[in-house]
Amino acid sequence: MFKAKSITNDIYYVGVNDRQKLMFENQIPLPFGVSYNSYVIVDEKIALIDTVEIPFAEIYIDKLLDVLRGRSVDYLIINHMEPDHSGSIRAIKRLFPDVKIIGNARTFKMLAGYYGIEDGLMEVTDGSTISLGKHELKFFLTPMIHWPETMMTYDASDKAIFTGDAFGAFGALDGGVVDADLMVNKYLDEFDRYFSNIAGKYGSPVQKALEKMHSVQIDYICPTHGPVWREQIPKIIDMTNSLSRYEGKRGVVIVYASMYGNTEQMAEAIAEGLSESGEKNIMIYDVAKTDASFILTDIFRYDRLVMGSPTYNNGLFPEMASFLLKIENRDIKHRKFSYFGSSTWSNATMRIFAAFAEKMKWEVIGTAVEEQQSLKENAYKACIALGKELAKA
């Protein structure tokens, strides 16, 4: 019953939407859902590229059978082994026992470990090719986007590259599949959030993959999540390049925690100082209210970051402590940083933020501000001054 969608004459989309999962990887909210993309290239031989998460196998196989029209899958190419893409491999192998599974040495270790599959394998290395007839496929090993086995598959005939998680975006596909047929700005925002949270740590491997992609002409980028990119290719390559270099455009993210509003008032005063100095790109987040994935996205987007927290049980406010871990986990580089904190009897915040800046190798701007109990005039003025210094940085 379910229909596949054609992308070119020979390439079909057989992926599925997941609008039920609340949290991607059980940690990142999905307000617009997510898609698990899989593609079929129909030629003298038929290649299936990646699969979908197992709860969707029935719809997925229905779409696949629609494309196959009685034929079999000759090759199953595994660009990425994470279970949101590899989940239906066993179902495919059961349906097509003679299918050759294409991957690299690392893929096959994971394939055995996750699914116990050790036969019918065809190993490829960086630059290997296979012919489907008219379509010649070339494989690029692109480790750590986002796991060690990740690779890309390039179809020279249709100039389409199947990139695994690279160039992926959150957001289920609303009707269409190709960017030109979708409300694209929604997906560009979710592209940033996907990159920051999923691939953000792997800036250097992403740069290496971008270099490899320079060697081929690309008309379609087909990732494992989100739209197929056609019209937006220059833009998403630019965005990926900039995010993976941790460049950050001009702007200041202020992230704070506050129990009774006193630390919050310090954040407001810093923003006033920034604004008085002409800074417009100011984003203020209460770390206990906004999900970390959205805050991290803006920290990737902008070049300066200020963080503030009350002291809580001789440490940071717990949500702030957890947020520092999330930043560290993504290894966000080159931020200009400052901090502020409050306490009622003893202040641990300043020491923790100072150590964090050192660990992240971030440049500290201005004079950090510390207050006890409520915000008073001296600290208020110091916060405004800190805002002004940040505006100049």
Interface residues with ligand FEO (CB under 6 A)? 80, 82, 84-85, 146, 165, 224-225
Which residue of the chain is nearest ligand FEO when measured via CB? Answer: 82
Nearer to ligand FEO, 115 or 356 (CB): 115
Cβ of residue 224: shortest distance to ligand FEO, in angstroms? 5
Nearer to ligand FEO, 85 or 388 (CB): 85
What is the rounded CA–CA span in Å between residue 145 and residue 202? 7
Nearer to ligand FEO, 163 or 224 (CB): 224
Q: 210-249 as b/e, with b when 16 or more CB fall inside 10 Å? A: eeebeeeebebbbbbbbbbbbebbeebbebbeebbebebe
- Cβ neighbours for 293, distance < 8 A, ≥ 6 positions apart: 28, 29, 193, 196, 197
Q: How many CB atoms lie within 10 A of CB 2?
A: 14
Q: How many CB atoms lie within 10 A of CB 94?
A: 10
Cβ of residue 244: shortest distance to ligand FEO, in angstroms? 16
Nearer to ligand FEO, 87 or 341 (CB): 87
Cβ of residue 50: shortest distance to ligand FEO, in angstroms? 9
Q: What is the DSSP string of 193-208?
A: HHIIIIIGGGHHHHHH
Cβ of residue 146: shortest distance to ligand FEO, in angstroms? 4
Nearer to ligand FEO, 18 or 371 (CB): 18
What is the rounded CA–CA span in Å between residue 285 and residue 301? 14
Nearer to ligand FEO, 165 or 179 (CB): 165
What is the rounded CA–CA span in Å between residue 189 and residue 199? 15
Question: Interior CA angle at 115 toward 111 and 117, to 5°?
Answer: 65
What is the rounded CA–CA span in Å between residue 173 and residue 190? 12
What is the rounded CA–CA span in Å between residue 135 and residue 101? 18
Cβ of residue 249: shortest distance to ligand FEO, in angstroms? 27
Cβ of residue 16: shortest distance to ligand FEO, in angstroms? 13
Cβ of residue 80: shortest distance to ligand FEO, in angstroms? 6
What is the rounded CA–CA span in Å between residue 142 and residue 5? 27
Cβ of residue 140: shortest distance to ligand FEO, in angstroms? 17
Alpha helices (H) in the chain, listed in sequence order: 57-68, 83-86, 89-95, 105-115, 184-194, 203-213, 233-244, 262-276, 292-301, 318-330, 349-360, 377-392
From the list 89, 84, 86, 87, the residue with the least C-alpha distance to 73 is: 89
Nearer to ligand FEO, 31 or 261 (CB): 31
Nearer to ligand FEO, 208 or 225 (CB): 225
Cβ of residue 5: shortest distance to ligand FEO, in angstroms? 20
What is the rounded CA–CA span in Å between residue 54 and residue 91? 9
Nearer to ligand FEO, 88 or 309 (CB): 88
| SS3 category, 134 | coil
